A and B are shown apart, each in its own frame.
Chain A
Amino acid sequence: MTIPAPREDLKSDNDVPVPPDSTDGEGPGDVVLRLTDVVKTFPGVRALDGVQLEVRAGEVHCLLGQNGAGKSTLIKTLAGVHHADGGEITWLGEPFAPATPQAAMRAGIATIYQELDLVDDLSVAENAFLGHEDSRLGFTRRRSTAAKTREILSRLGHGEIPPRQAVRSLPAAGKQVVSMARALSHDARLIVMDEPSAVLAHDEVENLFRIIRELTAQGIAVIYISHRLEEIREIGDRVTVLKDGRTTAANLPARSTPTRDLVSRMTGRTIEYVFPPRRPAEQRDPLLVVDGLSRTGEFADASLTVAPGEIVGIAGLVGSGRSELLETIFGARRADSGTVTLDGKRITSVGSAVRKGMGMAPEERKSQALLLDEPVYKNMTLASFSTFAKAGFTDAGGERKAAERTAEALELRPRDVSRPIRTLSGGNQQKVVVGRWLLEDTKLLLLDEPTRGVDVGARAELYQVIHDLAERGVGVLLVSSEVPEVLGLADRVLVMREGRIIHEAPAGAIDEDAVLDMIMAGSLTTESILEGEPA
């Protein structure tokens, strides 16, 4: 059993190379926002562990970091959704601790989340002024609201959007403009944008950049989050890099910092991932064969194989189509074209997948995998209780015993299988979801982000479980946004970007920087790596 390396030795106070007040970036205005040593703890996780950030008026400040680096927690803290446990935030020279999202809005910080929070059936103007409607005696003043909205929209360069049109009928780019109009309706002086380009087509991104430039020209500061390095180079002024909840580099110039520097700031680890040693799997005929699988708008022409006892990892960002691919392989989504076969037999639905020996631990544990009010053992047997049953009558005793054996094998804590599963920690809940398929005669296990929200200790145990499964001859297809996890666990690595598998290599033949560079479409080595690859 491997034990994760303790973090203390790596936590000497000054391993964060923050230039004290570097002015090498071309931040044009005064500092409006400053975060010093901000800490935010959730049970079992230090989501923010000493964040430094400095944003100036009129600049585009980019936040860079891998999934789980703490970007989301950070922007939610600024938006008043989370409250910092430690450190200092100053906004316009005053200490800043918004109690609610409304308070943050009133103070002039607007956040545009990736999934836009618009009311589809209200009009553009109503959405822009949602929550602070222009009204007299409780009656909305539609004409003046429309006029104000029109003014804001033309400020954004989109005077052509009619304020009275329903938001539902707008394309994604239009909805984003409405979100920005809402921010401006609050007189925002800082707009935080969480991956705004993720929902946009290529030519729409240019338009977004034009809007951002107009905003910054008016002295508004923008915090811009994106995984796409080329965007950061084009729109950004300065870059702050987060890793494991800490600032590892602050205020780097966005245009001139070498890609290699940015990537290494994101990857140099403080948490050691400990992976059990792995014997190379012997060559065997493939168990799972996926051939030319496509779903419009999600992924295209995906072909891959998994052999018994082999662990295949897919690296890719959220939105690269990896979860959709996994769910389609499992039969939970209908493929537009292409085939999935397990042991030579076609898989067309979840029912047939499960009957033929496929199991899946989905991405969203709580909403896709668990019955939170039910006891552990019933969650464990959710896919297999019929096989325990005799003539339709369930065998609770038999289920409980089998669940206890699995709990023992998985080192579930606490061991008691009668407790409601909602009382378990994330890591132990995940063990139950994986354990569900150990009770079945599972040949192939699909794991979607198996360690999301799982603390370091339980992570190592889950890695061990996955390895043990492979040793027993189970094929594993794994998806993770954490590149080291894919590299450390898998025998073979597939890299996915924008719905396509762009690279395949044995895990030993590729390193983290190269994978990261590929999934972020950076400029470092993409061309050389992709040479000779089918696009």
Chain B
Amino acid sequence: MTTQTAPPEAPAKQERRKLDENTLRNLGLVGVLVLLIVVGIITKPDLYSDPTWVKNNFLTILQQASAIGVVTVGMTFVIIGGGIDLSVGAIIALAGVWATTLATQSYGAGGMIFTALVVGIAVGLVNGVLISYGKLVPFIATLAMLVAARGLAAQISAKQTQVSANDFINSLASERLLGIPLLVWILFLVVAAGWVLLNRTTFGRRTVAVGGNPEAARLAGINVKRHTLLLYALSGLCCGIAAIMLTSQATSAQAAMANLYELDAIAAAIIGGTLLSGGRGTIVGALFGVLVFSTITNLFAINNLSTEVQNMVKGAIIVLAVLIQQFRYKSLTQLFKR
């Protein structure tokens, strides 16, 4: 039984990879969305028979998804880059509160937006410095920031709700362009920019490389530390944008706003197909993840069901999505086992 050491013509059996994984997963999420809508139609046929209501309800879902969607885009980048950001909700609160102090409001809408974005980026940079150069584990660094940033937000606001008196800021949530709320436009813009950034720029390529194999990235000459720093700054920037969006929706900001956003954003990214260990993920999937959650919320709202049940269903969906992913990943790795 002598084996010929024939030149290893690479195995031809794996040629079939036509529909790539991401497309499949996104189709699955679209399926879930359709299913949720069908459940809505079955439970509330009278509402769904009114086309105006259907349209407005659809826009409501999108508007509900807008702020968390923006945060999820930043979170997706951080996770693909091999990290995690637990501080996003706290950053939003800090940015929102800072942007609505009487002093900031005196500079008008421009001053408020500028403040929110700068605060978001600055806090993200602090996270990034601690993680990249201080060598803290991302979980710990951003957990500390979660506590500290909310504390600072409460300090600044003196635990009061700060009402936004700025008409332009408030109009973002109420005005529409081409029949679509401005907040939804912002979401679409951020998602589009995120997609381009991830798939068409050197920044995106570095993100995948740094998260997929940091050592390989480093030995290929990529500045892994600086890139990690930038990823957290990007997440902070997204939080700054979301802070303005939420402030406009509530026409106010307070230290308790955007509570548990970190969990929603991570969950949405994960069910959208982002690998928690980094190196793989999609922006479109993350958007679908957010939409699934906000559609569930909407479904429970129109049926007057309690948020307790809603949270249980959300939890079940997260577990299911990850189980399916693991199953798929396993079968794939088995396929490639040589």
- Residue contact A368 to B219, C-beta cutoff 8 Å: yes
- A353 → chain B closest CB, angstroms: 7
Structural contact, A332 and B3, CB atoms closer than 8 A: no
Instruction: Name the CB-closest residue of A to B8.
Output: A425
A374 interface neighbour in B2, B10, B200, B208, Cβ under 8 Å: B208
Task: Report how far A454 CA is from B204 CA in the complex, Å.
Answer: 32
Measured CB to CB, the closest approach of chain A to B196, in angstroms, equals 8
The CA of A294 and the CA of B7, in the complex, are separated in Å by 42
Residues 324-358 of A contacting B (Cβ, < 8 Å): 330, 332, 350-351, 353-355
Complex contact B5–A7 (CB within 8 A): yes
Question: Known: A41-B3, A373-B280, A382-B209. Is A413-B9 also a contact (CB below 8 A)?
Answer: yes
Give the residue among B8, B17, B205, B220 with the most A Cβ atoms within 10 A.
B220
Q: Does A367 sit at the interface, judged by CB under 8 A?
A: yes
Contact with A along B1-40 (1 / 0, CB 8 A): 1110111111100100100000000000000000000000
Task: Please state if A422 and B336 are interface contacts (CB–CB under 8 Å).
Answer: yes
Given contacts A330-B219, A369-B216, A382-B216, contact A393 B201 (CB under 8 A): yes
Q: How large is the interface on A (under 10, 10 to 19, 20 to 34, 35 or more residues)?
A: 35 or more
- B-chain residues with CB within 8 Å of residue A386 when the two chains form the complex: 202
Residues 1-52 of A contacting B (Cβ, < 8 Å): 4, 6-8, 11, 41, 43-44, 46
**Stretch of A111-119, A226-234, A455-463, A477-485 that contacts chain B:** A455-463
Determine if B336 and A413 form an interchain contact, defined as CB atoms under 8 angstroms apart.
no
Q: Could you tell me if B223 and A423 are in contact, using CB atoms closer than 8 angstroms? A: no
Contact A394 B5 (CB under 8 A): no
Main secondary structure of the interface of B (DSSP, over half): loop
Q: Known A355-B221, A413-B10, A423-B11; judge A371-B200 contact (CB<8 A).
A: no
Q: Is the CB of A389 within 8 A of B201?
A: yes
Q: How far is the CA of A329 from the CA of B3 in the complex (A)?
A: 41
**A contact residues around B11 at 8 Å (CB):** 423
A458 touches B216 (CB 8 A): no
Which residues of A come within 8 Å of B, CB atoms?
4, 6-8, 11, 41, 43-44, 46, 86, 330, 332, 350-351, 353-355, 360, 362, 367-374, 378, 382-383, 385-386, 389, 392-394, 396, 413-414, 419-420, 422-425, 427-428, 436, 455-458
For the complex of A and B, the 9 pairs showing the least CB-CB separation, nearest first, are: A354-B221, A383-B220, A371-B212, A457-B7, A382-B220, A425-B8, A389-B202, A368-B215, A43-B338
Q: Can you list 28 A-B pairs with a CB-CB distance of less than 8 A?
A: A6-B5, A7-B5, A8-B2, A86-B1, A330-B219, A332-B218, A350-B219, A354-B221, A362-B219, A369-B219, A371-B213, A372-B212, A372-B213, A373-B212, A373-B280, A374-B208, A382-B217, A382-B222, A383-B220, A383-B221, A386-B202, A392-B203, A393-B201, A413-B10, A414-B10, A422-B336, A423-B11, A458-B7
Apart from A372-B212, A423-B11, what 10 extra A-B contacts exist at CB < 8 Å?
A: A7-B2, A8-B2, A367-B213, A373-B212, A382-B216, A393-B202, A413-B9, A428-B10, A457-B5, A457-B6
